[in-house]
Amino acid sequence: MSHPIQWCRQAFPPASKWHPEDIPDLSGQIVLVTGGNSGIGFEMIKSLLRKNAKVYLAARSQQKGEEAIRALKEDTGKTAEFLQLDLNDLVAVQRSSQDFAQRESHIDILFINAGIMYPPLDQITAQKYDATFGVNVIGHHLFLRLLYPLLTSPSPLSQSQTSPSRIIWTSSSANLLVNGRLDFSTFTEGPDRRKAGTFDLYGQSKLAQIQLSAYVAKRAAEAGENVVSIAVDPGHIRSDIFRGKKPWYIILYEKFVMYPVSYGVLTPLYAGTAPEALEYNGKYIRPWARPGQPHPSAYDREQQEKLWVWLEEQVKEYL
């Protein structure tokens, strides 16, 4: 089956057999959600709070984060914690991880959820990376590297001390629409980046996230660490991930193909909380909470290692 046809089939999945009400009690669990002030992240936090987790809402804007926390309190009766996180700036990412490490000694579930899609091509990060790849991949890579010791440390409060910590990566079926090989020359400012365009850069960032998820799972297993890493496609969801002016075809796509945000939480929450989802360590789950197949290059160990080495070089001064 061609990758575009596979992408189309994933746009219309069968009804889910799993629902957020199936989440087990999360009392004592420490959960961190990046991009939690709106969209899928906000809805995930709502469900996690209802299941008694202590949840950190990580977002760039303190004002928007606090507004979201107030709305969550009104809806659930419970209060999320705010963590300021600007993935657009590696210095800010470093500062955010230090702040979190002073507040908690362990993470049970890390949702790598924040992301941007189709920002203006002139938009670059503080360190002059492409905005899409910089936020979706480079900023998150540094954040994960700095917080990884908290994922491997023992949980003092969890009722399930032997359960592994989980890293859940919100990827996308857009990984199927690129040629399967990352072009590192497009991730920094220059003619190659502008030639690639925003659509290709977004697809590359989502392929990279699946490669990293699989690679982290393998590294953890080889090191004997009790950490599970799963990449998910949340589905074709109407959220605020789009940046900049939307072209006409995106407006039609949102209206006739996309699902409400409530559908978008199904697959990441399943991966992050369902006991049976642990069998998908290093794998990819598609809508709604079903096993899926990303682009074959996502599981190419040579490409995974090349990406990891490149990212380590970009963030080395912040580690």
Domains with residue ranges and CATH for the chain: 3-313 (3.40.50.720)
Residue 299 annotated as catalytic: no
pLDDT band at 211 (very low <50, low <70, confident <90, very high): very high
Q: Which residue among the candidates 56, 129, 148, 202 is catalytic per the annotation?
A: 202
- Over residues 102-126, the mean pLDDT reads 94
Q: How confident is the model at residue 221 (pLDDT cuts 50, 70, 90)?
A: very high
Q: How confident is the model at residue 218 (pLDDT cuts 50, 70, 90)?
A: very high
- For residues 77 and 236, the model is more confident at 77
102-106, 177-181, 203-207, 297-301: the lowest-pLDDT one: 177-181
Asked if the model's pLDDT at residue 247 lies above 80, the reply is: no
The confidence score (pLDDT) of residue 187 equals 96
pLDDT at 1: 46
Calculate the average pLDDT of the chain.
Answer: 90
**pLDDT by residue (tens digit) across 47-96?**
999 999 999 999 999 999 999 999 999 999 999 999 999 999 999 999 99
pLDDT band at 202 (very low <50, low <70, confident <90, very high): very high
CA 264 to chain centre: 12
**pLDDT score, position 4:** 60
Pick the catalytic residue from 51, 54, 206, 283: 206
Active site residue 202: yes
Tens of pLDDT, residue by residue over 124-156, are 999 999 999 999 999 999 999 999 999 999 776
Indicate if 165 belongs to the active site. Answer: no
pLDDT above 70 covers a percentage of the chain that reads 87
User: What pLDDT, on the 0 to 100 scale, is given for residue 251?
Assistant: 58
pLDDT over threshold 50, residue 310: yes
pLDDT at 157 over 70: no
Selected catalytic residue, list 47, 171, 213, 239: 171
| Single-letter amino acid, residue 241 | I
* pLDDT for the residue numbered 34: 98
